[in-house]
Amino acid sequence: MSEIARRSEFPDTRGWIRALPTLTASAPPFAPAATPQETFLRWLTEAAEAGVAEPHAATLSTVDPSGTPDARMLLIKDVTDDGWWFSGDDRSPKGRQLDATPAAALTVYWRELGRQVRVRGPVLAGPAEVCARDFRERSVFARAVASTGHQSEVLTDSAEYDDLVRERLTALEHDPDLVSPHWTAWCVAAEAVEFWQADPGRRHLRYRYRRAGDRWVTEELHP
């Protein structure tokens, strides 16, 4: 691992930040597959095998009704012919943003391999049985927390919130099949997927799949 510059050794913040190492990794050779899903799963496998922690974590970007972007980390739950799946509560800010503007971008960065993937496209809510399956696959505590609602609202009373979680846990112990009607599995039906691989000589490789009807057009992009 490269030496990390100590902040105390720099006269100002900018100097220290500018000295932090970037793109230090080297990636396995890039062999694009016929579809972006296949290529993504190949890269995800390589990231997992390289020991990347939470290699399925991604940034989900959405826009709010005023057009202001918003973004947060979440976990990719599945990759199918339909697209990239993630899940959450439809009452949350992201849920309301997706309801108003059903389009999103997912961004993944595997720094240990110097690789980035960008997925963009319309977002569709999955059928009820897919949402319910996703909810049931969560731990009982995660299900209890997800049932409380109010995600991202100001927390004014911690004790009240803890009581609500306990109440939801008790309800789930009595009926383990309980499913929150607000839990949603969404799918980014990708229109474009870009694979970016760092090169130490800055000849970064950029390879984009663009949907053209029922096939994928592939293009190399300027670094």
Ligand X SMILES: Cc1cc2nc3c(=O)[nH]c(=O)nc-3n(C[C@H](O)[C@H](O)[C@H](O)COP(=O)(O)O)c2cc1C
Q: How many chain residues bind ligand X (CB under 6 A)?
A: 15
Q: Is 94 annotated as a binding residue?
A: yes
The correct pick among 32, 93, 102, 122 for binding ligand X (CB under 6 A) is: 93
Strand partners, 49: none
Interface of this chain with ligand X, residues 138 to 197, rule: CB under 6 A: 151-152
Q: Does 100 interact with ligand X (rule: CB under 6 A)?
A: no
Q: Does 73 interact with ligand X (rule: CB under 6 A)?
A: yes
Q: What distance in Å separates the CA atoms of residue 110 and residue 104, rounded to the nearest whole number?
A: 20
Of 73 and 100, CB closest to ligand X: 73
Q: What angle do CA 48, 54, 60 make, to 5 degrees?
A: 120
Q: Does 137 interact with ligand X (rule: CB under 6 A)?
A: no
Considering only the stretches 4-12, 85-93, 168-176, 205-213, report the one whose residues sit in contact with ligand X under the rule CB under 6 A. Answer: 85-93
Q: Does 63 interact with ligand X (rule: CB under 6 A)?
A: no
Which tokens sit at 71?
């973004």
Of 61 and 209, CB closest to ligand X: 61
Cα–chain center distance at 185: 13
Binding track, positions 41-60, relative to ligand X; x by CB under 6 A: -------------x--x---
Q: Is 74 annotated as a binding residue?
A: yes
Cα–chain center distance at 25: 21
Minimal distance, residue 84 CB to ligand X, in Å: 12
Closest residue by Cα to residue 115 from 17, 42, 10: 42
Minimal distance, residue 217 CB to ligand X, in Å: 31
Question: Are 183 and 124 a contacting pair, CB within 8 Å?
Answer: no
Q: Which residue is nearest to ligand X (CB)?
A: 88
Q: Which residue pairs, CB below 8 angstroms and at least 24 apart, start in 178-182?
A: 178/143, 178/147, 179/131, 179/132, 179/135, 179/136, 180/89, 180/135, 180/143, 180/146, 180/147, 182/89, 182/90, 182/91, 182/95, 182/149
Q: What distance in Å separates the CA atoms of residue 124 and residue 36, rounded to the nearest whole number?
A: 18
The correct pick among 94, 115, 118, 143 for binding ligand X (CB under 6 A) is: 94
Binding residues for ligand X, per CB under 6 A? 54, 57, 70, 72-75, 86-88, 92-94, 151-152
**Binding site for FMN: what residues are annotated?**
72-77, 94, 116, 151-152, 196, 206
**Binding site: what residues are annotated?**
72-77, 94, 116, 151-152, 196, 206
